[in-house]
Structure 1
Amino acid sequence: MTELASASKRPRPEFRNINALSDLPTYRLPPAGWVSILHRISGAIMFILMPFIIWMFDTSISSEISFAKFTSVFNVGVGFVPGWFFKLIALAIIWAYLHHFIAGMRHVWMDVNHAVSKEFGRSSAIVTLSLGTVLTLVLAAKLFGLY
């Protein structure tokens, strides 16, 4: 009976509602949280830009003339939209695919090896973010003609 009495005297944790305007800007999301949110965003980007992806694939392989039109869209543009804008859209697709693929492989690795720990989650999230960023920058340099 004394154990129950002493257990009831411990202070209980206090829960409160958050104020989105004051609490959220100061909250620091861990790297695994960033990877999770960006994984969802990259999936949404790929889904939303699917018509552009299909257009690029179809135009690039249909014929030599359509491939010439395809390359002119990226070099010169169409109408009032400049070519660099289409390159930015293609770069968004490249980033979305790379991040989504790398984050997906991270999840598969964690599932297969039962590697669910705070340390592995943090380190693998940092690797995912940095690898996706580096690969995107390399492909961006190629897309914009730096090499």
Structure 2
Amino acid sequence: MKTQRPVSSDKRPVNLDLSSIHFPLPALISISHRVSGVLLFIGLIFMMWALQASLASPAGFQIVSDTLAHNFFARLVMWGLLSALGFHFVAGIRHLVMDIGYGETLEGGQQGARLTVIFSIVLMILAGVWVW
């Protein structure tokens, strides 16, 4: 005789299709804050190598400065790291402000997320002007 599973009264989906879920802007900013932190941590490998090479000798300093001055990929990585740092900083300030108690409402969260995007874009543009 076959045993049957009890029928559940709730209609929750068994497998969620994450691509069909629409995340609000504050959630995307929070997730992006974590991703930018991971990218910064990984980017430390590049930065520590460049620091070590530039401090090892005058020739090493010349190699690193020439690489950053003439290599498109190195400039792109530098701009990406500076952009991630700017976004991570602004989103971190947003989280600190929310920890203090401001912007915890739905409207405040939306406004804080918009300001985070605006300030981050400004910092990314400034980083691009500085690097390029």
Q: If the length of structure 1 is used for normalisation, what is the TM-score?
A: 0.72
Q: Deviations over 1:54-86 (max 9, x none)?
A: 12334455665433222211233xxxxxx1101
Choose from 96, 101, 110 the match for 2:98.
Answer: 110
The whole-number CA distance in structure 2 between the counterparts of 1:66 and 1:142 is 23
Q: Deviations over 1:10-31 (max 9, x none)?
A: xx874323442xxx33432111
The equivalent residue for 2:80 is 92
Choose from 114, 119, 122 the match for 1:131.
Answer: 119
Cα contact 2:83–2:127 (8 A) shared by 1? no
Alignment of 1:1-147 (within 5 A): 14-20=11-17, 24-60=18-54, 64-76=58-70, 83-144=71-132
Q: Deviations over 1:4-53 (max 9, x none)?
A: xxxxxxxx874323442xxx334321111111111111111111121211
Secondary structure of 1:100's match?
A: helix
Q: How many pairs align?
A: 124
The equivalent residue for 1:8 is none
The whole-number CA distance in structure 1 between the counterparts of 2:92 and 2:58 is 36
Report which of the two structures shows the higher radius of gyration computed on alpha carbons: 1
The equivalent residue for 2:6 is none
Write the letter of the residue equivalent to 2:83: W
State the superposition RMSD in angstroms. 2.3
For structure 2, the 5+ residue unaligned runs are 1-8
The whole-number CA distance in structure 1 between the counterparts of 2:108 and 2:15 is 29
The whole-number CA distance in structure 2 between the counterparts of 1:119 and 1:17 is 32
What's the offset of the Cα at 1:137? 1.6
Q: Percent identity?
A: 26
